Amino acid sequence: MINIRSDREIELMKQAGHINYLTHLELRKHLKPGVTTNELNSIADKFIRSHGGVPSCLNFEGYPKSICISINDEIVHGIPSNRKLRNGDVVSIDFCTGLNGYQSDSANTYIIGDAPKEVVNLVENTKKALYIGLSQIKPGAKIGDIGHAIETFAHEHGLSVVEELVGHGVGTSIHEDPDVPNYGEAGTGITLKKGMVIAVEPMLNLGKKDVAILDDDWTIVTMDGSPSAHFEHTVVVTDDGYEILTGDKD
């Protein structure tokens, strides 16, 4: 079932999304070689709670930490640990924040220091792919329009699209209907309506699209070891387009 959210519910989700956004900004200050992913997890957990929010990845389907940090060939759901960030790492930070029973979900990818041009392009183009996907959103558009736009852009830039993981509806739960794939045919799938809230989250790889899961049963990696990037926003369908609930254009 796809929920249509009232103006009041959207206002609450915007408040949750704002804390999520502020937490991303806080984390950015600490992204330097030598910081451990556990330290970043703890900074985010404290920051979210001090703003009255709930770090809702923690214990979600048994996930053991408050945020996901996925480095280099890790695509999503990397578990914070004693691993230290190093110069050249491609670091995706993805997490959900709840407030008053409503959820928000967003992700960003950063390069620590310098990386080869092709890796910089991977990250920049994955961010662009998110906004190209979002630009399809308006009442009457189809869910497939989003994935088609993302996939076309990715392929034009020599990047592959992860298919095993998809975007999703967001509401009182982190994961609601509908699925929002990052690939597909334009004009297919469910019709978007005002008040639907979805998370769009392209995951693009520099190499092949195939993925594997690590022994921790969470971390998804590229099969060929190539780097991967991930950007995500939670948005609401408005009268004539969409509004981002998890921050502004960064």
Closest distance of CB 170 from ligand MF3, Å = 9
Binding to ligand MF3 (CB under 6 A): which residues in 164-203?
174
> Shortest gap between Cβ of 117 and Co ion (angstroms)?
29
Q: What are phi and psi of 76, to 5 degrees?
A: -150, 165
Cβ at position 79, least distance to ligand MF3 in Å: 9
Tokens representing 134 are: 């979002």
Our finding on whether 176 is near Co ion (CB under 5 A) is no
Should residue 24 be labelled a site residue for ligand MF3 when binding is judged by CB under 6 A?
Answer: no
**200 is in the binding site of which of ligand MF3, Co ion, none (Cβ under 5 to 8 A by kind)?**
none
Rule CB under 5 A: choose which of 199, 204, 221, 245 binds Co ion. Answer: 199
Is the preceding omega at residue 202 within 30 degrees of 0, hence cis?
Answer: no
Q: How far is it, in rounded angstroms, from Cα 196 to Cα 5? A: 6
By C-beta, is 68 or 85 nearer to ligand MF3? 68
Question: Which residue from 73, 94, 145, 176 is in contact with ligand MF3, where contact means CB under 6 A?
Answer: 94
Q: Which of residues 27-86 bind ligand MF3 (CB under 6 A)?
A: 57, 60-61, 63, 68, 77
User: Which segments of the chain are extended strands (E)?
Assistant: 54-55, 68-71, 74-76, 90-99, 102-111, 160-161, 167-169, 176-180, 197-200, 203-205, 211-213, 220-222, 228-230, 233-237, 242-244
Beta bridge partners of 232: 107
Q: Nearer to ligand MF3 by C-beta: 39 or 179?
A: 179
Among 9, 74, 89, 105, binds ligand MF3 (CB under 6 A): 105
Shortest separation between residue 114's beta carbon and Co ion, angstroms: 29
Q: Are 230 and 221 in contact (CB under 8 A)?
A: no
Q: Which residues pair with 205 in a beta bridge?
A: 160, 228
Inter-CA distances, 49 with 46, 76, 230, Å? 5, 23, 25
> Which member of 9, 105, 151, 176 binds Co ion (CB under 5 A)?
105
Identify which range of 14-22, 104-112, 205-213, 218-226 contacts Co ion by CB under 5 A.
Answer: 104-112
AA identity, residue 96: C
Contact 109, 158 (CB under 8 A): no
Rounded least distance, CB 34 to Co ion, Å: 29
Which chain residues interact with Co ion by CB under 5 A? 105, 199
Which chain residues interact with ligand MF3 by CB under 6 A? 57, 60-61, 63, 68, 77, 94, 96, 105, 107, 174
